[in-house]
Structure 1
Amino acid sequence: MNKLCINFGRLWLFMLMVGAMSCSKSTITVEIQVEDTSGLKPDSVYIVGNTPELGNWNPAITLMEKVDDYYVFTLEMKKEESIEFKFTLGDWAKEGMIENGDGGNIVLSPKTDTSVVFSVKSWHRPEPTSTAVGNVFQWNVADPKGELAPRKLHIYLPKNYERDSTATYPVLYMMDGQNLFDERFSTSMGEWGIDEYLESDTASKVIVVGVENSVNRMEEYMDYVKGKPFREWLAHFIFPKVDSAFRTDTNRRFVGGSSAGGALAYMMRREYGRSGRNRVDGVLCFSPALYVNTEEDQYSIFLADELESRPYPRVPIYFDIGGKGVDRILLEGTEMLKKHYPENSSASPVYKYVVDLNDDHNETAWRKRFPAALEWLLANDRN
């Protein structure tokens, strides 16, 4: 268990801060204490987590305030929500190791105004043992136009790929690719285990290309205008690069992702659905961030265009949602999309919609749902 304690000497300050906030919300003050054994005494500490306020797992966005010997961050959140987070010095290589912690994400689900303190014993992320299985490797890639940050592709090739020199394979491009195969690269709640599934005897054979995110993840994945260079880079540079290097079936090219990555897959379907050499033949949208309407945030990802368009693009779409955490907010968007797809109609796209209200917005849930989603897509992309 993580070390939790109340700092009574500072409690009065905390109460003053939360007193002016709405009683309908809980406020959490996350306070970190760096132990002297680290010997580092950093000038800047970042809190990194699963919400926009926490930087969406970007290790160098949300700077904590230095107050005396503490680093403090305060946010408002609804009582029924939970947050997951870690601390860094601005780089995942300098991740804070919590006293008595196991190296995993810190999870808080406060019901009332709360102040907690975590002690960090060191600022070093231990090198985890590789969890990848099968033929998994990385490529370093850049944008020829220089508009996007360099990043890695995490690539999986099917079993016996080298032995069977004539076979061609469908390709699935997954966003947040660092989280797919190997704990060494994962920046979130572990990896999806896609390689473990594809190495099993029951899985279909497919090439998977995981595209790492960048510090501009939200802009690249969710901003329709500012994200256009990323979508063009994916379609006009990465697709051909992969096709030229591997034996791909260019008529079976899929894009997938979760959360903001699911929104990106959704937009790729609208822009490149079965059109030209850069076509997209199907998409997997896990807990897609299509629509949010809350007091704090309002946005819609291409949804109005989808709902007004007839006919729908004949590109299979799998989309799903859980019922806990962030998925409780995103559920409205997936339900809106489902209502506008007529049942048993030639005007409707081929689609599958899955709801599991027991699932949260994390890799554990997406890992569980991935096998059935992939097999459905591979069975329906030619319809």
Structure 2
Amino acid sequence: MSEKADAPTDIRVTGDADYTITVGRGLQGRVADALGDRVAKVLIVHTPTVGRLADELRQSLQQRFGQVLLAEVPDAEAAKRVEVAAFCWQIMGQADFTRTDAVVGLGGGAVTDLAGFVAATWLRGVRLVQVPTTVLGMVDAAVGGKTGINTAEGKNLVGAFYAPHAVLCDLDLLETLPKNEILAGFAEVVKAGFIAEPEILDIVEADPDRATDPATPEFRRAVELAIAVKARVVSEDFREGGLREILNYGHTLGHAIEHAERYQWRHGVAVAIGMMYAAELGRMAGSLSDEAVERHRRVLTLLGLPLSYPAGRWPGLLATMQRDKKARAGMLRFIVLDDIAKPRVLAGVDDSVLQFAYQEIAS
């Protein structure tokens, strides 16, 4: 039997963009209220995986709004292409969407990235409500106001900072997710633990099975802590002028691995390797202790996530990282730790040091 908490939790993002992230169960009925009264037309962007859920949502919203349309897009990173965004724009154009209409992103992190970009760019911005259906979407992609699509040259190179009107994280939607999908998404949960909230790591180390079971209070606690970390950071630095960079822990190498794998790998799997690399790089920079590096290894292993990548792939990974949007004037920037929950930027590292750190995780 599910161990379900009753009341939903509201987590606020403030500053440049004010909105509420609601975490709980049975939240699908709140989508109409989240959209508000002034909306006349709604586009639900979704994947085939959640097609039935999208149709149910469409039927419920049609009781309140004049026109509700569906845009079915490919699963995973295949959705984040300009051709797919153009498909959504075409639907909106043919239906005469105005600035008082809205987009709902229903699906995993790739779909919420795409839906956010579509909402940000149509008429320079229409209302957006995110309904993430994966762990990754709930703790990362849907909650920070970063939207984007991929290009042949790299991940998320085209996008916009665009805040949602609301985010509804319905934990009931996670209970049918495959276990490997939950574990991959948990890479972003433990990332929040490494950079800011060690209680998340304690929860995983105490009982990884309960920590990753959507029916348990341990799972909900870890997810809410991870969302709260991101909400605090985004509230202080919505457009990534400084502090928000810490959320990229493990992502510089992680994104390069995703590119090398032609986006066939789950984001969290690549980021797990990226965090292990960042830990080794932090140790070589003289800041991170052997014990903290080993804690990375232990936590990621408990989640069944990979820690290494083939040795011969380094030249291609380095070239991709040099095109990363976080680089400055060709200088690579990494988030490393001085200790657990003490992140900082490391820039201008010699290529030989970067390669030596990679050798520590190379298979």
Same fold (TM > 0.5): no
Q: Which has the higher contact order (CA 8 A, sep 6+)?
A: 2
The structure with more strand, counted as a fraction of residues: 1
- The structure with more radius of gyration: 1
Q: TM-score, normalised by structure 1?
A: 0.25
Structure number with the higher helix fraction is: 2
| TM-score normalized with structure 2 length | 0.26
